[in-house]
Amino acid sequence: MTPDLLRVLIMQTVFAFGWSLYLLMPKFYATALQAGPDTIGHISAMGGVAGLLTVPFAARGLDRLGRRLLFQIG
């Protein structure tokens, strides 16, 4: 069990919990918050929109800081 392998296992576990939460959120919105399908769709789309809007900033950061430093910051 090397430190690199342990780091990958921990990162994969955290990602799996995050993905599971992402898949369960629409059910929570519908049952606990009584949100309609259109509201759930808008909320679910916001992650993609936010990712799309950050592309220019990421590109500028890559140009100015370099790939290695930008990934370390992220």
Provide the pLDDT for residue 70. Answer: 86
Q: Domain residues for 12?
A: 1-35
Give yes or no for residue 73 having a pLDDT over 90.
Answer: no
**Structure confidence at residue 74 (pLDDT):** 79
For the segment 5-61, what is each residue's pLDDT rounded down to a tens digit? 999 999 999 999 999 998 999 999 999 999 999 999 999 899 899 999 999 999 999
Q: Answer yes or no: do 53 and 73 share one domain.
A: yes
How many distinct structural domains can be found in the chain? 2
Q: Are residues 29 and 50 in the same domain?
A: no
DSSP 32: T
> Quick one: pLDDT band at residue 1, thresholds 50, 70, 90?
confident
Same domain, 27 and 52: no
CA angle, residues 41, 44, 46, in degrees to nearest 5: 110
- Give the up-direction half-sphere exposure of residue 67: CA atoms within 13 A in the CB hemisphere: 0
